[in-house]
Amino acid sequence: MTANAPKILLLGKDSQLGWELQRSLSTIGPLVACDRQTANFENADELRFQIRHHQPAVIVNSAAYTAVDKAETERAKAHQINEIAVRILAEEASHLGAWLVHYSTDYVFDGEKASPYSVDDQPCPLNVYGQSKAAGERTIRDVGCNHLIIRTSWLYSAHGSNFPRTILRRAIERDQIEVVADSFGAPTTAHLVADTTAAMLDRLNGLSRPEELSGIYHLTASGETSWYDFAQFLLGLAHNRGLPIQANPKRVFPITSASYAAAATRPKNSRLETSLLRDRFRVHLPDWQVHARRFIEEVARSRLL
């Protein structure tokens, strides 16, 4: 940690990404981490108070409304947390001359593009959750504070609620499972996003004109797969590791996204083009299978299911 290490305020420390950010950001500078009770995104005065009290040089926001299907009937709450509260963060960052790091999602796109989405592609969300996240991005840019808006996709970790943990639990409870096979993306761990965020902030801290790197970036693991192939890969690893699954890879059956009953429509193409991030920040993004193997090892060692 250098003498001019920035003070960092982490919001949403209890999220699966916040869990990993507490580890990675502690090497960058003095860290204050707040949970959802301490920094309540549904209370504007309380949120402003926390920021003004701590006077950070960097605000890292890993808090979000992420209940994709529930958002269809909780539109106001989704926009309160993902848009209105985010405007407060941007305004306070602007007043302090601080940086705002904010995480967004592939759900800002409709998934109809044939190739990976670039940072210059126009958002066109299919559901309320995606609309609220796209609105949050716009409000940061409108306020004009220095920012890193980091879009990621298919995020997971050994903690919290996510696709791999759900698949493993179902495979333990059932002798066969069905998984969507016509949606594609790059499974990305919170561990990778947290470490890359720390590397980005470390690089900014060493530049004479860091504001030149302010903008939107795509951050996912390399490679691509379908939800179906991802599930088969995970269960193959789990079987080889001796986890007590009933549904091995041969007992995973493909279904279409159209036949998957959900309140919110999901994008079929969640692939994000990451070259801008890799070029500007000189980071390496390993193939998705690398961290999937690490995930299974962590689950097996820690008995987290």
| Separation between Cα atoms, residue 22 and residue 14, nearest integer Å | 10
CA distance 261 to 302: 33
Helix axes 190-205 and 16-25, enclosed angle (nearest 10): 40
117 is catalytic: no
CA distances to 105, 115, 159, 192 from 185, rounded to whole Å, are 12, 11, 21, 16
Indicate which residue of 129, 156, 217, 228 is catalytic: 129
**Which strands make up the sheet holding 99-105, listed edge to edge?**
31-34, 8-11, 58-61, 99-105, 147-152, 215-218
Task: Write down the residue that tokens 């108070």 correspond to.
Answer: 49
Q: How far apart are CA 212 and CA 206, in angstroms?
A: 13
- Is 88:143 a contact under the CB 8 Å cutoff? no
Burial degree of 40 (CB within 10 A; 0-12, 13-18, 19+):
middle
Phi, psi of 152 (to 5 degrees): -135, 180
What distance in Å separates the CA atoms of residue 177 and residue 137, rounded to the nearest whole number?
36
Residues annotated as catalytic (active site), given as ranges: 129
